[in-house]
Amino acid sequence: MRFVWRLVRVLLVTVAVLVAVVLVAGGGVFAALPVIADHVPMVLSRVTMTDGTRTVEMQGMVHVAEPRFYRDVAELVAERRRAGWLVFYEEVRPDPGDDAKAGTAEVMKRLGAGWSPDSGEHPYMMLSTLLGDGLVLQDNRALLGDPGPDERNVDISLSDLLAALPPAEADEEPLDLAAARDGFAGLPPWVQVRVRAAVRIGLAAAASGSWLHAGLPEGLTIKREAKVAQAIQDEAGRNILILYGQAHIGAIRSRLLAAGQGWSVVRTMGVRAM
């Protein structure tokens, strides 16, 4: 994720220079970015697997998306729960006595972003304007419905996450999320539209490839994916729906295929998130 914040910082600081250059060298491409973005939606994976006796369905998730996407996921969860499936989901949880907001601020700092709990805004929503209007934050409680024994948080704790992440780089100033948001808001509207389009095109490309996973710290990937794969194996005989970050879906699938217990992919489809 650190490279994402670097990208945002560079984009906002140098956008005026880039606009001038693009207008001279390739104004047509710059002007066409919104049209291009309309034809490159962010599509998340829904992968269905079986070991011959049971089914595992994995839905890739993203922290901010269109309301329609979350409504569709909530309907899928309700349908699977009515059919008696387990539901596993991703949600880093604080340990008893932890200050969750302070811990989140430290995680963001180690990823290269500066966020203050006193802002009253979720860090992802602070930059949602870079993606466009009408987006909402993922709400697991709304997605999962009433708590019960058939839904389970399968993720690491906040302290485990901090222990797995490398320390913040002392010689690198974190990207101030509030300043980035305000800087974007100060750009001319016609520039905002095209910057949003460029960011959405980049995120759509990231969601469709494996390079995003490769760029994440291992503390955000291997430990969590191993936990999910083990939880699946521990529930022999149960069908399971899994809601997990898009970057993790391919790795969880690979772990199951490599387990040597007859797992195979039944179907892969795409679900538009924005």
Number of structural domains found in the chain? 1
- Give the pTM: 0.85
At 78, the amino acid letter reads: A
pLDDT in the model for residue 28: 58
pLDDT < 70: residue spans in the chain: 1-31, 34, 37, 209-211
The structure tokens listed for 198 are: 């460029």
Beta bridge partners of 86: 240
Question: Within 10 A of 133 (CB to CB), how many other CB atoms are there?
Answer: 7
Give the burial class of 150: count Cβ atoms within 10 A of its Cβ; 0-12 exposed, 13-18 middle, 19 or more buried: middle
Domain that residue 118 falls in? 2-272
The structure tokens listed for 66 are: 């269109």
Whole-angstrom Cα Rg for the chain: 20
140 CB contacts (<8 Å, ≥6 apart)?
89, 91, 243
Question: Within 10 A of 3 (CB to CB), how many other CB atoms are there?
Answer: 12
pLDDT in the model for residue 27: 54
Contact (Cβ atoms closer than 8 angstroms) between residue 122 and residue 60: no
pLDDT in the model for residue 15: 44
Cα distance between residue 151 and residue 76, in whole Å = 13
The CA-atom distances, in angstroms, between 49 and each of 104, 182, 267 are: 33, 44, 7
175 CB contacts (<8 Å, ≥6 apart)?
5, 6, 8, 9, 112, 113, 114
pLDDT in the model for residue 254: 95
